[in-house]
C-alpha cells in the first residue's frame, strides 16, 4: 500500500462542497473519479477540511491509498489526475508519497482561511470570488472588532445549527484584516473551526464595518453564546481555504 498526499485547488461554485452527495457534483467524488480513471482503483479521498458548497480552496490537502497498483512517481500521478480533471474546476498542485501515519484531516496542526469582501458600488465582473458589499467599510473598526475573537472561546454564537463538532470551544490563533484596492481581506488561522464559523464571523464583522454595530459588540455577542445575536452568514463565494500546516508551529 502506498499513501499519497495531494495539495489541491478548486473553484467551489460548481460543486455541492467537498463531501460526496447523491446526485450533486462534489469535489470528493470528482477527484475520486479522476483517480479511478487513470489507475483503475476505487479510492477514498480524505480532506483536511470539508468545505461547504461554493467555497474555494487554494491549498486543500487530501490523502488516499493505492493498494493494488505498483508505485508511481508523484509527478506522474499529478499529471494523470490533472488530465482527467481537465474539464473541471479542480487541479492538483502537488503530490507527495507519505507514510501511513499521515492523515489529511487528523494530522492537521493548523488551518488557514481567508475571506474577500469587495466593498464598492459596482458589481465585480473580473474576479467574482468575493462578497460584493455596496457600502463603505471601516477597515479600522473591522480590525478592532476582530481582536475580541482571538484566543480560546465558546463560539456558539458563530456556529451553524447543524454543526457536528462535539464542543463549541475553539481557539483562533490569529485574525488579520487588510485592504487591497477595493477588497477587504480577513485572514483567520485556527487548529479547527466550527461549521460556518468563518462565514458567521465575517457576516458579523461586516456589520461592524458598516457601523451597524460597534466593535465592542463582538465581545458581547461571543459571551451571549447565542447564534441569534451575531450577524448573518456571509456568502460562500468569498471564502477560500488557503492552506494546512502539518508541523507544529
Q: How far is the CB of 82 from a second copy (least distance, A)?
A: 5
- 78 forms part of the interface with a second copy (CB under 8 A): yes
Among 4, 10, 64, 112, binds a second copy (CB under 8 A): 10
- Determine the Cα–Cα distance for residues 121 and 194; give it in Å rounded to an integer: 32
> Is residue 53 part of the contact set for a second copy (CB under 8 A)?
no
Stretch in the footprint of a second copy (CB under 8 A) among 79-87, 108-116, 137-145, 204-212:
79-87
Number of residues near a second copy (by CB under 8 A) = 24
- The cell for 57 is 480552496
Q: Which of 2, 3, 9, 108 binds a second copy (CB under 8 A)?
A: 9
Residue 52 annotated in active site: yes
Question: Cβ(65)–Cβ(102) under 8 Å?
Answer: no
The correct pick among 33, 43, 53, 58 for binding a second copy (CB under 8 A) is 58
Q: Supply the minimum distance, in Å, between the C-beta of residue 181 and a second copy.
A: 9
Q: How far apart are CA 90 and CA 100, in angstroms?
A: 25
How many other C-beta atoms lie within 10 A of the C-beta of residue 128? 12
The binding track of 126-145 with respect to a second copy, each residue x by CB under 8 A or -, is xx-x----------------
User: Nearest-CA neighbor of 118 among 36, 179, 193?
Assistant: 179
- Strand, coil or helix: what is 24? strand
Catalytic residue (choose from 52, 65, 79, 127) = 52
Contact 62, 31 (CB under 8 A): yes
- Tell me: does residue 87 bind a second copy (CB under 8 A): no
Q: Which stretch binds a second copy (CB under 8 A): 41-49, 119-127, 138-146, 202-210?
A: 119-127
CB 227 within 8 A of CB 161: yes
Closest distance of CB 249 from a second copy, Å: 20
The β-bridge partners of 24 are 21
* Phi, psi for 4 (deg, rounded to 5): -120, 140
Considering only 92, 172, 184, 213, the residue that binds a second copy (CB under 8 A) is: 92
DSSP string computed for 167-236: -SEEEEEEEEEEEETTEEEEEEEES---TTHHHHHHHHHHHHHHTSS-TTHHHHHHHHT-GGGS-PPPPG
> Which residues inside 199-218 make contact with a second copy, applying CB under 8 A?
none
If you search the block for the grid coordinates 474576479, which residue do you land on? 127
State yes or no: residue 123 binds a second copy (CB under 8 A). Answer: yes
* Single residue of 79, 136, 178, 216 touching a second copy by CB under 8 A: 79
Residue 180 binds a second copy, judged by CB under 8 A: no
Active-site residue numbers? Answer: 52
Q: Which residues bind a second copy (CB under 8 A)?
A: 9-11, 56, 58, 78-79, 82, 86, 88-93, 120-127, 129
Amino acid at each position: 500500500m502506498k499513501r499519497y498526499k495531494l495539495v489541491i485547488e478548486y473553484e467551489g461554485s460548481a460543486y455541492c462542497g467537498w463531501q460526496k452527495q447523491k446526485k450533486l457534483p462534489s469535489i470528493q467524488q470528482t477527484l475520486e473519479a479522476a483517480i479511478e480513471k487513470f489507475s483503475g482503483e476505487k479510492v477514498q479521498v480524505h480532506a483536511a477540511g470539508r468545505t461547504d458548497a461554493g467555497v474555494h480552496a487554494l491549498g486543500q490537502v487530501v490523502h488516499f491509498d493505492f493498494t493494488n497498483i505498483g508505485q508511481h512517481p508523484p509527478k506522474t500521478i499529478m499529471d494523470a489526475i490533472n488530465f482527467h480533471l481537465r474539464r473541471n474546476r479542480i487541479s492538483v498542485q502537488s503530490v507527495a508519497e507519505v507514510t501511513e501515519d499521515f492523515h489529511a484531516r487528523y494530522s492537521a496542526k493548523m488551518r488557514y482561511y481567508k475571506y474577500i469582501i469587495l466593498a464598492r458600488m459596482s458589481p465585480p465582473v473580473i474576479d467574482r470570488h468575493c462578497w460584493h458589499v455596496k457600502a463603505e467599510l471601516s477597515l479600522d473598526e473591522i480590525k478592532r472588532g476582530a481582536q475580541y475573537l482571538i484566543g480560546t472561546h465558546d463560539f456558539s454564537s458563530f456556529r451553524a445549527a447543524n454543526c457536528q463538532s462535539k464542543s463549541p470551544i475553539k481557539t483562533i490563533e490569529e485574525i488579520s484584516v487588510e485592504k487591497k484596492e477595493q477588497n477587504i481581506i480577513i485572514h483567520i488561522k485556527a487548529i479547527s473551526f466550527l461549521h460556518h464559523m468563518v462565514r458567521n464571523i465575517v457576516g458579523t464583522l461586516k456589520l461592524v464595518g458598516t457601523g451597524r454595530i460597534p466593535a465592542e459588540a463582538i465581545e458581547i455577542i461571543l459571551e451571549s453564546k447565542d447564534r441569534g445575536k451575531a450577524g448573518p452568514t456571509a456568502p460562500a463565494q468569498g471564502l477560500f481555504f488557503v492552506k494546512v500546516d502539518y508541523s507544529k508551529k
